[in-house]
Amino acid sequence: MQMLTQEKLSLEAGAQHLTHLLRSQATGVGLPPSLRDHWLKWVDRADLSTLFTAQHLKEDWKYTPMEFLRHPWELGTLTASSPSFPPEGELPLIQPVESFEDLPALHSLPTPSSPWEALLGASTTYQHYQIREAGQLLLTSSNETGVLPHFVSISIAPHSQAEIWLAPHTGGFLLLRLHIHVGEGASARLYYTTDLPTRNGYLYGILSAEVEKEGQLESYDLTISAPWKRTEFKVRLTGPGASVHLHGASRIAPGEVVDQAIRIEHAAPHTESNQLFKSLVYAEGRSAFQGRIYVHREGQKTNAYQSHKALLWEPSAVAYSRPQLEIFADDVRCTHGVTTGFLQGEMLLYLRSRGIPEETARHMLAGAFLAEVVEKIPHERLRAGLYARMGFSS
């Protein structure tokens, strides 16, 4: 591993080093001039050292190994990966736009809630997409080495339909900032697939979305393999009838880390959110899940549901689940559930008692655990491909 050949920094020194590196790259050139100064101010103030001092940041990163900060990163370059699951179907493939002054996505960027988000808001490499009527787009941001901050915005025009395939790849540290604006009555589907069977590679995605009146967002965060993956997903439902459905299926291979931090804001009446996440954790693997549902005073008649289930394959596998509800409206329905456990001996005996060898039976049960989420993927080829890449038969 490349890292071992270089001297390691202390966590604090690494945080400072990375702060300076990201700041030096934050030119804001990919932002509309009207927003540029505003964002560069956030960049100036951002300091990753606060990860160790600010209480809320410490909480946020409590279960996430931060060894990557000890690496004296240099800047990487953006390349394109060849994804395991290329998009297919009827929708036309959309290319990035050149003119970005009026893109709704950029004007709806949320206020940064972490130094990472601030540093990335005025990052160095940009891509902006705009979808009118119908389209799909493929994001294959990739960097072989070094740290790479990458910013993507997607604006989906009212009553349009979008499919987004996010398939990044990294052998270094990829910091991906993706913001989606779902216009009134529009619908967007996001497939975020991670297939990184390498020993190194840190993938950090800060995703956010704003969903307007009667807009719909649906996402599938699918991990086949990732040495270290953290995904923050912040969704704001800003108009009546807006809805978001987040799904996650993570196969966390031995020693890997998958960390998910979700925040859903219900900022308008009659909105709906649904989170269904499952993590299959093998030996020495780690799943961290934080799911926050925040219902504003305006969020009357909110319907919110959240579930995270972790299946620990070995005693050395670890899962942390932290559901959080903050509700400031009185007429809402919020439910959440968390379960963590080992394979049920009853199920295993049942299969074995019918003649299925133990190893096969265990394997079937592992696949079955993730199937609850995978079966919800509306794309058949992706579903079948995913089972195949994970080594499960459907």
Partner 1 sequence: MLSIRNLHASVEGRPILKGLTLEVKAGEVHAIMGPNGAGKSTLAAVLAGKEGYEVTEGEILFEGQNLLDLEPEERSHAGLFLAFQYPVEIPGVSMIQFLRAALNAHRAAQGAEPLDTAELMALLKEKAALLKLDPSFLSRSVNEGFSGGERKRAEIFQMAVLDPKLVILDETDSGLDIDALKIVSDAVNALRAPKRAFIIITHYHRILQYIRPDVVHILADGRVVHSGGPELALQLEEKGYEPFLTPA
**Residue ranges binding partner 1 (CB under 8 A):** 344-347, 349-358, 360-361, 364-365, 367-372, 375, 393-394
Backbone angles phi and psi of 109, in degrees to 5? -60, 130
Residue (89 or 378) nearer to partner 1, CB: 378
Query: What is the nearest approach in angstroms of partner 1 to the Cβ of residue 347?
Result: 5
53 or 344: CB nearest partner 1: 344
Residue 368 CB contacts under 8 Å (≥ 6 apart), including other chains: none
Q: How far is the CB of 375 from partner 1 (least distance, A)?
A: 8
- Taking the complex as a whole, how short is the minimal distance between the CB of residue 373 and partner 1, in angstroms? 10
If we measure between CA atoms, which residue out of 206, 202, 137 comes closest to residue 166? 137
Element (H, E) at 14: helix 11-25
Give the shortest CB-310-to-partner 1 separation in angstroms. Answer: 15
Nearest distance in Å: CB 229, partner 1: 23
Q: For partner 1, give the closer residue by CB, 283 or 365.
A: 365
Sheet with 187-195: strands ordered across:
134-139, 161-166, 187-195, 216-225, 243-252, 272-281, 303-312, 333-342
CB of 217 to partner 1, least distance (A): 26
Nearer to partner 1, 111 or 353 (CB): 353
Instruction: Tell me how far, at minimum, the Cβ of 254 lies from partner 1, in Å.
Output: 22
Return all residues near 251 (Cβ < 8 A) that are at least 6 apart: 223, 224, 225, 280, 370, 390
Closest to partner 1 by CB, 13 vs 371, is 371
190 neighbors 166 (Cβ within 8 angstroms): yes
Nearer CB in complex with partner 1: 2/344: 344
Residue with tokens 């089972």: 387
- Angstrom distance (rounded) from CA 297 to CA 9: 45
Residue 122's SS3 state is coil
Helix (H) or strand (E) holding 295: strand 286-295
In the complex, minimum distance from the CB of residue 47 to partner 1, in angstroms, rounded to a whole number? 46
Q: Which is nearer to partner 1, 33 or 355 (CB)?
A: 355
Buried b (16+ CB within 10 A) or exposed e, 362-392: bebbbbebbbebbeebebeebbebbbebbeb
Instruction: Please check whether residue 355 is in contact with residue 349, taking contact to mean a CB–CB distance below 8 angstroms.
Output: no
Q: Which is nearer to partner 1, 53 or 394 (CB)?
A: 394
Contacts of 296 (CB under 8 A, 6+ apart): 265, 266, 267, 328, 329
| Amino acid letter for position 316 | S
Q: C-beta of 358: minimal distance to partner 1 in Å?
A: 7
Q: What is the dihedral of CA 217, 135, 164, 383, to 10 degrees?
A: 90
Shortest distance, position 190 Cβ to partner 1, whole Å: 24
Buried b (16+ CB within 10 A) or exposed e, 159-179: ebbbbbbbbbbbbbbbbbbbb
* Nearer to partner 1 (CB atom), residue 188 or residue 281: 281
**CA of 382: how far to CAs of 246, 279, 377, 379, 389, in Å?**
17, 18, 8, 5, 10
For partner 1, the closer CB: 90 or 359:
359
